Amino acid sequence: MRAFDRALAMMVVPALCLAAGCGGKPVAAAGYAAPTDNEALDAYRNSVLGKHIAGSSSEEVAQRVAEKDGGINGMNYHAITLAQSRESHNERVEELARNLQSTELSDCVWERFSPSAVKAKYKDEAGPAPEAAYRCKVTVTIDTDSRGLVAAPTEGFFVRKDDGSFVFVGKLAKDYKRLDGKEDEPEEKSTGGSQKFS
């Protein structure tokens, strides 16, 4: 009898929790369909381009410090190297956006919108944060000059904007694996620079 009571409690408590909204108010039903793979690709590409860092070119910075200080010296050289690093980073961002081939979605679930759950932040430029959105696993494929087609997994939320397009809120994929089955050559140790996207 005790086993029966325990089994009954295991069924009743979750049902009561669902009705009462344990753990917070239940999210409203989805008002739109999950994004297609092509819609997700556009959203992911826009997220990549969002990593672009605005600022003056290294030539403009060099000209400015030369005019201000009468030439380049140890005190102002840092400003030029920062501008060069920014340019290098932006070139990699643009290259990644150009080389994106596809995104393949799986396991899309409508759930409470929580960027921290996917280790991301939501930018207000996309509009007010929604109550809920589709959280999906994403396989990202890019075409590289040296490694050919490579793919890597990530996950994130897809939020639909008023114009019908989607915003990707999640971490960019990393640790890409070759799709041709070949092994990579050992890489030289990095001496610094911007993030490796592929």
More confident residue, 58 or 98: 98
Give this prediction's pTM. Answer: 0.74
Residue 57 lies inside a defined structural domain of this protein: yes
Going by pLDDT thresholds of 50, 70 and 90, the confidence category of residue 194 is very low
What's the pLDDT tens digit per position in 180-191? 888 877 665 544
Q: Which of 107, 168, 176 is nearest to 136 (CA)?
A: 107
Q: Is residue 54 part of a domain?
A: yes
Inter-CA distances, 18 with 7, 13, 112, 117, 191, Å? 18, 9, 15, 22, 54
Is 197 within the bounds of a domain?
no
Quote the pLDDT of residue 124: 72
Q: CA-to-CA distance for 10 and 17, rounded, in angstroms?
A: 11
Answer whether residue 138 shows pLDDT above 70. Answer: yes
* CB atoms closer than 10 angstroms to residue 52: 13
Residue 30 counted as domain residue: no
**Residues whose CB falls within 8 Å of the CB of residue 75, separated by 6 or more in sequence, listed in order:** 69
Answer left, alpha or beta for residue 165, where phi above 0 means left and psi between -120 and 50 means alpha: beta
Determine, yes or no, domain membership for 195: no
Query: Which burial class, exposed, middle or buried, applies to 24 when counting CB atoms under 10 A from its CB (0-12, 13-18, 19+)?
Result: exposed
In a domain, 103, yes or no: yes
Q: Is residue 27 part of a domain?
A: no
Q: Determine the pLDDT at residue 48.
A: 94
Total domains present in the chain? 1
Domain assignment present for residue 58? The answer is yes
Mean pLDDT of the 31-42 span: 95
Q: Can you give the residue range of the structural domain that contains 101?
A: 37-178
What would the pLDDT profile of 68-80 be if each residue is shown by its tens digit?
A: 777 767 667 778 8
pLDDT at 13 over 60: no
